[in-house]
């Protein structure tokens, strides 16, 4: 599963990384982008700097999830980590407080 995700991300990678949270989320989540944008908008206001206790970033992932799925200071890195979590969870948003 991780190898397929890595191949998808590498195959579709544009010459220039997407700029801004919305573009990064659309790039990473593909057909799930509209849902992901609603979740991230509710969770963080689309801010990579959002913090709420142990929860950080666009998708407000907790410290345990960040340790497993990755962490980054960039919108692209945070979207990729959230996508890994989303896929590992069966493409289900139940682990987030906000739903699409």
Average pLDDT over residues 36-42: 98
Range of the structural domain that residue 27 is part of: 2-88
**Helix, strand, or coil (residue 52):** strand
Count other C-beta atoms under 10 Å from residue 12's C-beta: 10
- Residue 95 belongs to some domain of the structure: no
**47-98 pLDDT, tens digit each:** 999 999 999 999 999 999 999 999 999 999 999 999 999 999 999 999 999 9
Longest CA–CA separation in the chain, Å: 36
- Residue 93 belongs to some domain of the structure: no
- Residue 96 belongs to some domain of the structure: no
- pTM for this model (two decimals): 0.82
- Residue 60 belongs to some domain of the structure: yes
Helix ranges (H only) for 1-100 are: 2-11, 21-29, 33-44, 63-69, 75-88
Q: How far is CA 31 from CA 26, 35, 49, 68, in A?
A: 8, 9, 25, 24
């Amino acid at each position: 599963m991780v190898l397929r995700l890595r191949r998808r991300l590498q195959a579709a990678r544009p010459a220039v990384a997407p700029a801004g949270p919305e573009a990064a989320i659309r790039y990473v989540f593909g057909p799930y982008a509209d849902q992901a944008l609603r979740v991230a908008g509710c969770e963080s206001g689309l801010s990579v700097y959002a913090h709420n206790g142990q929860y950080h970033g666009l998708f407000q992932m907790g410290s345990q999830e960040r340790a497993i799925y990755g962490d980054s200071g960039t919108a692209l890195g945070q979207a990729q980590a959230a996508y890994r979590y989303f896929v590992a969870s069966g493409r289900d948003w139940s682990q987030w407080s906000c739903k699409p």
